[in-house]
Amino acid sequence: MKIYIDGKLHDEADARISVFDHGLLYGDGVFEGIRFYNRRVFRLEEHIRRLYDSARSILLNIPKTPEEMTAAVLETCRANNMDDGYIRLVITRGVGGLGLSPYKCPTPSVIIIAAPLAIYPPEAYRDGLVVATCATRRPTHDTLSPQVKSLNYLNNVMAKVEAMQAGAEEGLMLNDRGLVAECTADNVFVVRNGAINTPTFAAGALDGITRRAVFDICASLGITISETDISRHDIFTADECFLTGTAAEVIAVTKLDQRVIGTGIPGPVTNRVIAAFKELTRSSGTPF
Ligand code: PXG
């Protein structure tokens, strides 16, 4: 595996960063998770835009133009010579002192990893995921904006642990008002009478790239989709529920908090969205 760090490709064993990097010391940095299919990077431009927005939000100046970053991602994909895989693009604040101040970190670091990825077993895609509600809430807009994909994912990690301890595969995260925000690494959708609903950004949902793809798919398939407040009740009583994320792709949820959702198997609307998403990933993307 070849890993890109600050303009150079390294073997995995030599891919190292400083213990004084504020990405490590404080989780000070931002990242993207991106997929490539058939030697084409899915929605790369949108991921790059979101990365620069996250960085701008935390006053981190990425030492590359978006065009240079795009080229570096494609170069890393080529160097790893895989047809399909996952890209982790990480920007750390860089090396600084043992103090919080980011002003002591002159140069942010750029790390790009391209690797195979399978987060859920094939059975989960066939039968649907088991999800549990977490006590850990999604951060509010006045703590850290839910739109910033920062390197500080402790909240989400703790929520994931809660879900797994409850015997579930993914955790449902509520916001400070007790409404559904999203899962620990996926956006949430519910289906009722053939129409789809998903939480708003105001409720704490990330502006997911896969979420956007679902809106595009619904437009082309003529499925009604809306952003609205969603509570656990709405999921318990939904006909279908599914999640989206770069890593998870589109996957049905068939149980929440031990309760069966709908008929207990992936539903027809979910299956249509999954099929259209597969087609979209197969037929689009930036080639490398
Ligand atoms: N919400 C959160 C909090 C996320 O981190 C998504 C939604 C889905 O967004 P995209 O753009 O991927 O459709 C994410 C995605 C993983 C993993 O290993 C995924 C994410 C971050 C970290 C790990 O599944 N991000």
* E strand or H helix that includes residue 113: strand 109-115
Torsion, CA 55, CA 46, CA 158, CA 126, rounded to 10: -170
Residue of 36, 187, 214, 243 best suited for mutating to test ligand 1, as the one with most atoms within 8 Å of CB:
187
Q: Contact 243/270 with Cβ under 8 angstroms? A: no
Pocket flag, ligand 1, residue 117 (CB < 6 Å): no
Radius of gyration of the chain (CA): 19
Give SS3 for 25: helix
261 and 230 in a common domain:
yes
Predicted local confidence at residue 214, as pLDDT: 98
Which of 79, 94, 115 is the last residue in one of the domains? Answer: 115
- The rounded Å distance from CA 149 to ligand 1 centre is 8
Query: Tell me, what's the pLDDT at 40?
Result: 98
- Does 288 reside within a domain? no
Examine the domain organization and report whether 16 and 147 are in the same domain.
Answer: no
Question: What integer is the mean pLDDT of 212-231?
Answer: 98
Say yes or no: 127 and 258 in one domain.
Answer: yes
Two structure tokens written together for 156: 């989400």
Q: What percent of the chain has pLDDT over 70?
A: 100
Q: 3-state DSSP call for residue 71?
A: helix
User: CA 199 to CA 211: how far, in whole Å?
Assistant: 11
Residues 199 and 262 in one domain: yes
pLDDT, residue 243, reads 98
Using an 8 Å Cβ cutoff, are 162 and 134 in contact? yes
Domain residue limits at 183: 122-283
pLDDT band at 141 (very low <50, low <70, confident <90, very high): very high
Q: What is the CATH number of the domain that holds 93?
A: 3.30.470.10
**Which band of pLDDT confidence, cut at 50, 70 and 90, is reported for residue 113?**
very high
Q: Which two tokens stand for residue 246?
A: 């770069």
Asked if residue 164 is part of any domain, the answer here is: yes
Q: What is the pLDDT of residue 245?
A: 98
Q: How many domains does the chain have?
A: 2
Pairwise CA distance, residues 230 & 238, whole Å: 11
- Tell which atom from ligand 1 comes closest to the C-alpha of 149: 5
Give the model confidence (pLDDT) of 48-78 as tens digits: 999 999 999 999 999 999 999 999 999 999 9
Residues 126 and 179 reside in one and the same domain: yes
Residue 148 in domain: yes
Last residue of a domain, one of 81, 97, 115: 115
- Residues 245 and 133 grouped into a single domain: yes
Q: Residues of the chain with pLDDT > 90: what percent?
A: 99
Would you name the residues annotated as active-site residues?
A: 149
Tell whether 143 and 275 lie within a shared domain.
yes
Average pLDDT over the chain, rounded to an integer: 97
CA 189 – ligand 1 centroid, Å: 15
Q: Same domain for 130 and 159?
A: yes
CATH (domain of 150): 3.20.10.10
Is pTM beyond 0.85? Reply is yes
**Number of Cβ atoms within 10 Å of the Cβ of 227:** 15
- The residue nearest atom 23 of ligand 1, judged by CA position, is 185
Pick the last residue of a domain from 115, 146, 175.
115
pLDDT band for 119, please (50, 70, 90 cuts): confident
Average pLDDT, integer, range 96-120: 95
**Is position 131 within any domain?**
yes
DSSP code, position 280: H
